[in-house]
Amino acid sequence: MFFLKINAIVLILLVVFSQLSCLKIEVTQTGETTSDRLTRKADLSFTNKATSSIKFTIDPSSTYQKIFGFGAALTEAAAVNFLKLSSDLQNEIFSQYYHNLGYTVARLHINSCDFSESSYSFDDTADDFGLSDWSLNNGHDPHTLIPLAKKALSFNPNLKIFASPWSPPAWMKGNNQMIRSSDPGLKSNPQIHKSWALYFSKWISAYENEGIPIWGVTVQNEPANDPTWEACMYSPSEEAEFIANYLGPQLKNDHPDLKIMIWDYNKDNIEIWADTILGNKQASQYVDGVAFHWYSGSQFENVQSVYEKWGDKYFLFATEACVCPAKGYQDWNRGERYGYDIIGDLNAGSIGWVDWNICLDMEGGPNHLGNNCGSPVMVDADSNPQRVVYNPPFFYMGQISKFLIPDSIRIGLNIQNNDENLVATSFLTPKNQIVLIVQNQNDNERSFDIVYKNMIANYIIPEHAITTFVFDA
């Protein structure tokens, strides 16, 4: 009997060790001081031995938001650059974005934005409240945005596209011009408000007639900003009123499945805007989510506060980020800023993260008001041969978007003895795989243990690197 018990124990241990050795962890890494650029590294194996005091313990029993997707904006500036490239380079860039990085979301602008060649709208006839002169054929979108969006859809037919206005036509605004904004931005004429809501609907219908389905809209890009380019200011209560009385009913009637997102500006005031609009019963019935940008700083606690208060009914979505100016576009810190913000936003409750221009020229444009910026992909379409440059943000985006496929669920991650320059997040994918992403912003390497179901794997992450770990749950 004694020997039978010993044999049983040995058998159990053999099974446990067999399971440990069979469960492999796939490792993909991007690093500044290494040659790694979305590079597949050697697999790890789980053991039962703790090695480091820093521990990332994955807890699938705690679940949070689902991933909607990652992507970038398709602007007129991007289109001007992209459409000049040879078909081979066009296919290379979009294959990288939509196949390799797994982009599933895109953003368009309604009317012009700063990254357009000039200011434009689709109806410049003053007081044309019924929009009888509205026309998509204004010399811009049919030659730029529409071909670009169709090309993107050819690479991902399931691409989810949302759109944002920077400015209504000049005749609808208090300052009678598309650039800058008075406060309030829209004239205080109910006919104007009704007409502007109808304008949204006509634009959506026109794009859908071109074979470009629109998943959602934001009410206004940066409604609390008065920059030197296209803009239209609202207060929180003004945006709530516009949604409740005009935009919401119009879009619910004409496009009932369309998603409406509020705010679409920085994290500093996201709580005020969310509380005001989502707390308005008339407006909130038409709202699906809260969009936000990164330009006022990380402020993840503000996003988390909105998630904890409103996340059971409304999603949060990071819809714009970029690094300016264009000079220094190969700076590694730009990639780290992307990774840090994406991980922080995801941990705070965001369903995804959308970059600004999908590609720009080597000067960070064109931009009709000189507000040039960097982009993960920059091109020189006028050189011979034509040139494409993939910058650090491209690889940092890929370390996340490539692995966090739609419907992945954020799960618990308990971190012990960490420092603030080592950030991480964890998800369970629809393929029943665990994804752990760790970013090291320190000037030296860090050793840490991955702990899952009493199994342990150790990894030493290089300085200024981001590493993604994938294994079966």
Per DSSP, the residues of 121-188 read: -S---TT-TT-TT--S-SSSGGGTHHHHHHHHHHH-TT-EEEEEES---GGGBTTSSSBB--SSSB-S
Q: Which of the residues 76, 271, 320, 336 is marked catalytic?
A: 320
In a domain, 77, yes or no: yes
In a domain, 182, yes or no: yes
Does one domain contain both 113 and 242? Answer: yes
Does one domain contain both 416 and 389? Answer: no
Does one domain contain both 325 and 358? Answer: yes
Active site residue 222: yes
- Residue 276's Cβ-side half-sphere holds a number of Cα atoms within 13 Å equal to 17
Contacts of 448 (CB under 8 A, 6+ apart): 52, 54, 55, 56, 418, 422, 438, 458, 459, 461
Please write the tens of the pLDDT for every residue from 333-356. 999 999 999 999 999 999 999 999
Q: Which of the residues 76, 222, 239, 336 is marked catalytic?
A: 222
Contacts of 236 (CB under 8 A, 6+ apart): 272, 273, 276, 277
In a domain, 16, yes or no: no
Q: What is the pLDDT of residue 4?
A: 45
Does one domain contain both 178 and 307? Answer: yes
Does one domain contain both 357 and 450? Answer: no
In a domain, 253, yes or no: yes
**Contact predicate 138/98, CB 8 Å:** no
Please write the tens of the pLDDT for every residue from 175-216. 999 999 988 899 999 999 999 999 999 999 999 999 999 999
Please write the tens of the pLDDT for every residue from 78-90. 999 999 999 999 9
- Residue 294's Cβ-side half-sphere holds a number of Cα atoms within 13 Å equal to 24
Q: What is the pLDDT of residue 326?
A: 82
CATH code of the domain containing 415: 2.60.40.1180
Is pTM, for the whole model, over 0.85?
yes
Please write the tens of the pLDDT for every residue from 374-404. 999 999 999 999 999 999 999 999 999 999 9
Q: What is the pLDDT of residue 359?
A: 98
Please write the tens of the pLDDT for every residue from 54-77. 999 999 999 999 999 999 999 999
Does one domain contain both 92 and 196? Answer: yes
Does one domain contain both 397 and 416? Answer: no
Does one domain contain both 366 and 426? Answer: no
For the chain, first and last CA: distance in Å? 37
In a domain, 462, yes or no: yes
Please say which residue of 340, 371, 401 terminates a domain: 401
Does one domain contain both 440 and 383? Answer: no
Nearest to 171 by CA among 100, 122, 237: 122
Does one domain contain both 231 and 259? Answer: yes
**Contact predicate 360/326, CB 8 Å:** yes
Active site residue 320: yes
Please say which residue of 342, 376, 401 terminates a domain: 401
Binned at pLDDT 50, 70 and 90, residue 22 comes out as low
What does the block give as tokens for 242?
């516009």
Please say which residue of 401, 421, 442 terminates a domain: 401
In a domain, 307, yes or no: yes
CATH code of the domain containing 96: 3.20.20.80
Q: Over range 136-159, report the average pLDDT.
A: 97
Q: What is the pLDDT of residue 9?
A: 41
CA 93 distance to own-chain centroid: 18
Q: Coil, helix or strand for 424?
A: strand
Phi then psi for residue 209, to 5 deg, are -65, -20
Give strand pairing partners of 110: 165
Domain coverage including residue 355:
68-401
Does one domain contain both 269 and 357? Answer: yes
Please write the tens of the pLDDT for every residue from 153-178. 999 999 999 999 999 999 999 999 99
The number of folded domains in the chain is 2
Contacts of 179 (CB under 8 A, 6+ apart): 119, 167, 228, 229, 230, 231, 369
In a domain, 12, yes or no: no
Does one domain contain both 347 and 463? Answer: no
In a domain, 161, yes or no: yes
* Ramachandran region, residue 328 (left: φ > 0; alpha: ψ -120 to 50; beta: rest): left
